[in-house]
Amino acid sequence: EAQVTQNPRYLITVTGKKLTVTCSQNMNHEYMSWYRQDPGLGLRQIYYSMNVEVTDKGDVPEGYKVSRKEKRNFPLILESPSPNQTSLYFCASSFGVSSPLHFGNGTRLTVT
Amino acid sequence: KNEVEQSPQNLTAQEGEFITINCSYSVGISALHWLQQHPGGGIVSLFMLSSGKKKHGRLIATINIQEKHSSLHITASHPRDSAVYICAVVVDKLIFGTGTRLQVFP
């Protein structure tokens, strides 16, 4: 089944403890991206990748890192999480930014 | 001012009604996405369009590039259409509207 798999679904952590949210797709998509969704602000793009070893900042990249070592995986890394990074996170993939998007199920992160 | 504006923000309807959700944008775009997010959070892509009109079942999406405007129509609305509908425009990246919350009552 074609899908984007995000893990974990829920994560509660403390300020400063490094964490990684994984994202994997099995559709051979070139384009992958990360978003955060906050009440009243909607979805905002954190980082995106057009292909392996190519990543670019979105609108809100501060405090996040990504890597794209393989086509299928695009992990989101929070080196030193802070409470303002408490949010709902989505990964998405597609053949290109102008192609239909496939979203993961989301990761609800709480940083205390 | 947001680059992508959706209206209305909230919409309630009776089952069977015709629904229109609007998306206006202020930047030059190459394409526009319509997304659906159900309670519980999952996001599904409904349409991606760069010109004209697309139809899928009871859903119709139109775009007017010159007027920088797109609409999503739902014919014969049903309670299962209750969701948040989000438009996103494609520049070199995606810029999202804040969504329209639709509730359809039986």
Question: Which tokens in the block code for residue B87?
Answer: 């438009």
* Ramachandran bin of A83, using left for φ above 0, alpha for ψ from -120 to 50, beta for the remaining angles: alpha
- Does residue A10 or residue A42 have the better pLDDT? A10
pLDDT one-digit tens code per residue, B51-105? 999 999 999 999 999 999 999 999 999 999 999 999 999 987 889 999 999 999 9
Q: DSSP 3-state assignment of A84?
A: helix
> Sign of dihedral through CA atoms B34, A31, A27, A1?
negative
Interface contact flag, B50 A98, Cβ < 8 Å = yes
Q: Which residues of A touch B43 (CB under 8 A)?
A: 90, 92, 103, 106
Q: Of A83, A65, A76, A79, which is closest to residue A14 (Cα–Cα)?
A: A83
Of B41, B50, B99, the CB nearest to A42: B99
Q: Does A105 touch chain B (CB under 8 A)?
A: yes
**Residues in chain B within 8 Å Cβ distance of A61:** none
Q: Which pLDDT score is estimated for B1?
A: 59
Is A69 within 8 Å of A16 (Cβ atoms)?
A: no
Check whether B41 has a pLDDT greater than 80: no
**Helix count and strand count (H, E) for chain A:** 0, 11
Q: Could you read off the pLDDT of A20-77 as tens digits, one per residue?
A: 999 999 999 999 999 999 988 889 999 999 999 999 999 899 999 999 999 999 999 9
3-state helix, strand, coil split of chain B in percent (to 5) is: 5, 60, 35
8 A C-beta contact, residue B86 and residue B102:
no
Cβ pair A42:B42 closer than 8 A: no
**Chain A residues close to B35, C-beta within 8 Å:** 101, 103
The residue to which tokens 């992508």 are assigned? B4
- Chain B: residues touching A (Cβ < 8 Å): 30-31, 33, 35, 41-45, 48, 50, 86, 88, 90, 92-99
Task: Note whether A59 contacts B: Cβ–Cβ < 8 A.
Answer: yes
Q: Judging by DSSP bridges, how do beta strands A107-111 and A10-13 pair with one another?
A: parallel
- What does DSSP say about strands B100-105 and B83-90: parallel, antiparallel, or unpaired? antiparallel
Peptide bond preceding A81 in cis form (omega within 30 of 0): no
Phi-psi region of B41 (alpha: psi -120 to 50; beta: other; left: phi over 0): left
